[in-house]
Structure formats: structure tokens, C-alpha cells
Amino acid sequence: MRFASVPLAICKSRMRIVETSRCVASLRVFREPVAQAAGFFPTFATIMTESIHKPLIHYVEQEILPRYDHFDAAHRRNHAEEVIERSLALAGHYDVNINMVYAIAAYHDTGLSEGRDLHHLASGRIIRNDKKLRQWFSEGQIETMAQAAEDHRASSGHEPRSIYGKIVAEADRLILPEKVIRRTIQYTRDHFPDYDKEQQYQRFRAHLLEKYSDSGYLKLWLPESDNAPRLEELRKTIRDEKALRAAFEESFSKNLDLS
């Protein structure tokens, strides 16, 4: 078993350039004309071929990603591809096995075939039971991968057991301040229909403080995640009561327009 590697590659994730001994590449990166024009990449295919085991990519694309086609709209194939992309970008910051990172991201939601509630555990089981993976990974690596898939839902609970779990858990979520605000308002409206507007605001504020504030329970597992600056942006609003009230008012009125 031998995985080729790129000794020095300059990889670009969205607009951020990362120099790394491992190549961080993604379909989106390949499509970026700026990156190609700047000569950062020979071709996406070359980088992928050299950094991730080719038969593994082939197997994932033929057998694993198509499973997502049957899941709900938020968990279709493009979700798995985005988690792969973000996982590979994060992996560039750590001394990790890029093939494991790739496979974990590809498998992480396959357990949805057994329902949503325990899908993370089912994904772990699917990895453990996949005989094909034993062609490329040791038993120890497979166990680490299975545990990482199990830990991918650790968005606010226990800490993932390994760096692999932290990478996939962080890659699996997108903290977008506007969306958090909109969803919190929607949730409040749906679950507390008797609340007047001020009561809704107080519940909205309490939830954001409890989860997203400086002392909130939400934890970022990796500081290099794109979620870090976005969470800071949200925290700035939460710290400033006036700004928080304004954000509520703006999103609240937009939501009213929609209903």
C-alpha cells in the first residue's frame, strides 16, 4: 500500500492561499480561473491523483457518493462534496493522512440511510463493515475513521476523539450569522406562537447568548476553520445589545414579509 504525496504544493482554498507539504485541493479550487491563471495548479486532476489514492477516489465516486442522491435536500451529494472540500482545506493545517480525511468526509452522512436520529453511529458502522476500505486502510485507521464519522455531530456536545473527528465535525457545519439569526427567529415563532414580539426578542436573545456568545456552549474544534471569523462576527453583534436588537428587527420584518 503506497500513497503518493505532493512534497510541496501551493494550494488555494477560495481566496486564501495556504502553503503546505500536503496538497489541499477541491473541485471548486480547480474551477477557479484565478488560481489557474496564476499558475498555482497544473490541473486539478494531477493534484488529486498525486495527493489522494486514485482507486479510493474512484470507489467513493462510484459507490459512496451516489448514496447521497436518495437523502433529503440538505444532504444530497453536493453536501458530501462540500464537506470533502472543507475537510481537505482544514487538513492542510495538520499532520494527517489525507486519504483518511477524504474517506471520512465522503462517508460521514451515509448512515442517513437508517434514519436521521442515530445516523452518525450508522455511518461509523458502514465504515467498519466496508470490506473494500481494507484494501487501502489498516484496521486501526478504519476504527479511527469510524469514530470520526460517529463524532461528526459533536457540534455542541462532547469533543471529537481525534483530529479526524474534529476536521469532519467542523467541515460539516457552516456558521453564517445572518442564517443563525433568521433561523432563531423562525424557531422561536414556530415553537412559541403565543409570544408577542418583545417576548420573541427575549427568547431569541437568550438562545443566542446561551449558544453563541463568548461564554456560550458552542465550541469550534479548529481555529483555522472559516467558522472562526464568522462566529466572531456574530459575537460582535451579540455583545452589542443595540446591534442585536437591530439585527432582530431587520430579520423579523423580512420574515414577516415572507409569511
Name the site residues for Fe ion (rule: CB under 5 A).
Answer: 109, 172
CB of 192 to Fe ion, least distance (A): 27
Instruction: Give the separation between CA 17 and CA 97, rounded to whole angstroms.
Output: 21
Instruction: Give the separation between CA 101 and CA 88, rounded to whole angstroms.
Output: 7
Instruction: Tell me whether residue 109 or residue 150 sits nearer to Fe ion (CB atom).
Output: 109
Instruction: Give the separation between CA 18 and CA 81, rounded to whole angstroms.
Output: 20
Instruction: Tell me whether residue 65 or residue 244 sits nearer to Fe ion (CB atom).
Output: 65
CB of 120 to Fe ion, least distance (A): 6
CB of 91 to Fe ion, least distance (A): 17
CB of 249 to Fe ion, least distance (A): 32
Instruction: Tell me whether residue 109 or residue 151 sits nearer to Fe ion (CB atom).
Output: 109
Instruction: Give the separation between CA 210 and CA 205, rounded to whole angstroms.
Output: 9
Instruction: Tell me whether residue 130 or residue 172 sits nearer to Fe ion (CB atom).
Output: 172
Instruction: Tell me whether residue 48 or residue 104 sits nearer to Fe ion (CB atom).
Output: 104
Q: Are 181 and 247 in contact (CB under 8 A)?
A: yes
Which three three-digit cell numbers place residue 230?
464568522
| Burial degree of 42 (CB within 10 A; 0-12, 13-18, 19+) | exposed
| Spatial CB neighbours of 14, under 8 Å, sequence gap ≥ 6 | 28
CB of 144 to Fe ion, least distance (A): 18
Beta strands, E only, the chain: 9-13, 16-20
